[in-house]
Amino acid sequence: MKKLFKNTTCLLAAAMLSTSGIQAQGTPRDMDRFIDDLMKKMTVEEKIGQLNLPVTGEIVTGQAKSSGVANQIVQSRVGGLFGLKGVDRIRELQQLAVEKSRLGIPLIFGLDVIHGYETVFPIPLGLSCTWDLEAIEQSARIAATEASADGIAWTFSPMVDISRDPRWGRVSEGNGEDPFLGGAIAQAMVRGYQGSNPDQQLTRNDQIMACVKHYALYGAAEAGRDYNTVDMSRQRMFNEYLYPYQAAVDAGVGSVMASFNEVDGVPATANRWLMTDLLRGQWGFQGFVVTDYTGIAEMVQHGIGDLQTVSARALNAGIDMDMVSDGFASTLKKSLDEGKVSMEAIDQACRRMLEAKYKLGLFDDPYKYCDTKRPARDIFNKEHRATARRIAASSFVLLKNQPMQGKAEPILPLKKQGTVAVIGPLGNTRSNMPGTWSVAARLDAYPSLYEGLKEMLAGKAEVLWAKGSNLMSDASYEERATMFGRSLNRDQRTDQQLLDEALATAVRADVIIAALGESSEMSGESSSRSELGIPDTQRALLEALLATGKPVVLTLFTGRPLTLCWEQEHVPAILNVWFGGSEAAYAIGDVLFGDVNPSGKLTMSFPKNVGQIPIYYAHKNTGRPLAEGHWFEKFRSNYLDVDNEPLYPFGYGLSYTTFQYSDVSLSSQTLTADSSITATVTLTNNGQRDGAEVVQLYIHDLVGSSTRPVRELRGFQKVFLKAGESRQITFQITPDLLRYYNYELQHVAEPGDFDVMIGGNSQQLKSARFTLK
């Protein structure tokens, strides 16, 4: 029987090759026929096996055949595996599936390749601050090249959850607060992983299947506490949260991951409206849906039934693959016998899994991603690293840059001379550089900031280092914040001893680079915080460093917006470097020492304090708005103790040069249904250095049938200008750009007045008005 199947596979593949010429995968009809034939041969248990995605854990090469999952593979109880790194091991397990299971159906191997593989790019929040879609696509392309060289066919990325709450640690994995930008980035990532030509996605062995997550609304967890309840109106969902997932679907994403949270009171994993009506019915999604890690089993804790009940609910809602819960594998057959799920539902899910494998070309060549010669050539090579360095430098956001007292020039960029002291608990730790969700990273292979700067400045400047403080005074908090092998090696000396050593180093220096902020595991999954300042001992260190009177540059490591009012007031220069990836140290050097002019702009507002959260630029006006520039007024929407503005607004970021915007001119004051208006500004680099500016376009719908935000991003361009150069920047405004979901959830552009605003951040804007007829 098996032999017959294999011959059929080969014949079919050969037939497809000859009819289509180049494409090994064949037409949709070929695929349907192939899968029909295959499914006729499958038992119910084998079909359910395709829906099962266990995690492998660590498997040593050569032992795959005797590992725990091996038996399951041979019994056809597994559709795919994830969490395994190394092409040799993956090849061994694939061989087991192909040669030892009854029908020889290949496995799909997945991994969290989130911001790079061994060449690590900035955390996604940092990447989004480049506002450079080409660079973002390229980062995903390189991640796909490296992962596919190592056996991976499927990545659990892009994560596109919109969030307006920096208490939530997973903001580090997303693209910030804005759906328009988030949607554009989601599409760039899908193109990078699967291929930029929509007709030829997944045809090559360096293209891998993407998985958009976490569907849906995961970033709106109450109080920013991870996995917490989500509840919002449908109108808000459609206008503010759902678009990036839909954008990924439009770009052809092959799979979707269900989120942990509930939506409308039903966990996403069991929510049929979400998984079937909206995703497939309205958006036309054709791929498969996988749960998040133990997403099915967690519904027992959510309180909607036992494992059998919740597994049946997940399948009936439209889930195809069960990650880790073992709910499908252990209960679906029983539910089928008891009439709780139908054979059609199991067949449907099985078909979708087989289709994914077919689209990946695994039936043609199960070892498509197992070329053992590729890793040496394709992983962590010179070109990839150079690209990662360039992209990292463009993700950093210069938050402040002022001269020292009595000087004319701002502190940055620094000169490559004299003595530079790197001081702080994040200044000399390799494992901290790649940032959260870098599971394939080689933690020891990337230089720390101190090591990188020393290498870059060799022969030009002396570089010193002192730790200065631990991450925080509370040792148990530090332990929680440095898990997963990313310890900062807590120093057992007292705070005073550490500080004394740092000050002795500081007096020898001409300039101090204070490497402070969060450790990489203080953001990411299960890393919510209720206070968002720089931790206590680090702040004390910073104060002491400033008191020396030496120039201090705060080089801020963080996975989320922090509250930095004190730092903004007292520190002359602040460069936010997020977690920049494997090449971060060099990229930081490039920017600090002026080889690269910073061009990153924030994609998430930085609050003044935690009480302002959620804070975001696209807020509603309310019936009692506070006049712009004002603080407190009784009976207005505001606080007694802080104003309504963020510390740093969405879109904000400085450069070593300055840009000037002309007024906005419009090609017409009226817009009709089938026309467009051109909005133009002249942008001038009126500073001394070449540099790039992110020109942002916002729209305000002045009167709607529902209330509308004060402004919404609807366009952006990253423009490079030489010092002194001017350029006209144009945007086309069409009625489509003005649509929103009204009370009836119709996607409409309503006639009336609109303001178009253009500028370098969401607060400093030039504006013009037009009317939609």
Catalytically active residues, by annotation: 292
Task: Please list, in sequence order, all residues whose beta carbon lies within 8 angstroms of the beta carbon of residue 157, skipping any fewer than 6 positions away.
Answer: 112, 113, 114, 115, 140, 143, 189, 193, 210, 211, 213
Q: Does 46 bind ligand BGC (CB under 6 A)?
A: no
Task: State in angstroms the smallest separation of the CB of 267 from ligand BGC.
Answer: 14
Task: State in angstroms the smallest separation of the CB of 194 from ligand BGC.
Answer: 17
* Phi, psi dihedral angles at 605 (to 5 degrees): -65, 140
- The angle that helices 179-194 and 243-250 make with each other, rounded to 10 degrees, is 30
Task: State in angstroms the smallest separation of the CB of 257 from ligand BGC.
Answer: 6
Task: State in angstroms the smallest separation of the CB of 215 from ligand BGC.
Answer: 11
CA distances from 564 to 424, 561, 567, 632 (A): 17, 9, 5, 21
Decide whether 161 or 567 has the Cβ nearer to ligand BGC: 161
Q: What is the C-alpha separation between 539 and 299, in angstroms, rounded?
A: 42
Q: Does 293 bind ligand BGC (CB under 6 A)?
A: yes
Q: How many residues bind ligand BGC (CB under 6 A)?
A: 6
The 212-241 contact track toward ligand BGC, x by CB under 6 A, reads -x----------------------------
Task: State in angstroms the smallest separation of the CB of 185 from ligand BGC.
Answer: 17
Q: What is the C-alpha separation between 638 and 649, in angstroms, rounded?
A: 17
Q: What is the C-alpha separation between 230 and 209, in angstroms, rounded?
A: 28
Decide whether 298 or 643 has the Cβ nearer to ligand BGC: 298
Q: How, if at all, do strands 670-671 and 765-772 pair?
A: parallel
Task: State in angstroms the smallest separation of the CB of 156 from ligand BGC.
Answer: 4
Task: State in angstroms the smallest separation of the CB of 484 from ligand BGC.
Answer: 12
Q: What is the C-alpha separation between 552 and 461, in angstroms, rounded?
A: 17
Q: Does 322 bind ligand BGC (CB under 6 A)?
A: no
Decide whether 109 or 363 has the Cβ nearer to ligand BGC: 109
List binders of ligand BGC among 198-217 (CB under 6 A).
213
Task: State in angstroms the smallest separation of the CB of 292 from ligand BGC.
Answer: 5
Q: What is the C-alpha separation between 358 and 31, in angstroms, rounded?
A: 7
Decide whether 293 or 652 has the Cβ nearer to ligand BGC: 293
List binders of ligand BGC among 149-188 (CB under 6 A).
156
Q: What is the C-alpha separation between 355 and 349, in angstroms, rounded?
A: 10
CB distance 118 to 380 below 8 Å: yes
Decide whether 437 or 578 has the Cβ nearer to ligand BGC: 437
Q: How many helices (H) and strands (E) does the chain have?
A: 23, 27
Decide whether 132 or 292 has the Cβ nearer to ligand BGC: 292
Q: Does 525 bind ligand BGC (CB under 6 A)?
A: yes
Decide whether 269 or 685 has the Cβ nearer to ligand BGC: 269
CA distances from 696 to 67, 410, 652, 767 (A): 53, 26, 10, 12
The number of residues in the chain equals 773
Task: State in angstroms the smallest separation of the CB of 53 from ligand BGC.
Answer: 9
Q: How, if at all, do strands 154-155 and 747-748 pair?
A: unpaired
Q: What is the C-alpha separation between 5 and 341, in angstroms, rounded?
A: 29
SS3 call for 759: strand
CB distance 245 to 257 below 8 Å: no
Task: Please list, in sequence order, all residues whose beta carbon lies within 8 angstroms of the beta carbon of residue 180, skipping any fewer than 6 positions away.
Answer: 243, 712, 713, 714
Q: Which one among 30, 112, 150, 567 touches ligand BGC, defined by CB under 6 A?
A: 112
SS3 call for 519: coil
β-bridge mates for residue 514, sequence order? 423, 554
- The angle that helices 584-592 and 449-456 make with each other, rounded to 10 degrees, is 60
Decide whether 213 or 384 has the Cβ nearer to ligand BGC: 213
SS3 call for 705: coil
Decide whether 480 or 493 has the Cβ nearer to ligand BGC: 480
Q: Does 85 bind ligand BGC (CB under 6 A)?
A: no
Task: State in angstroms the smallest separation of the CB of 426 from ligand BGC.
Answer: 25
Read off the tokens for 333: 């057959």
Decide whether 227 or 639 has the Cβ nearer to ligand BGC: 227
Site residues (vs ligand BGC, CB under 6 A): 112, 156, 213, 292-293, 525
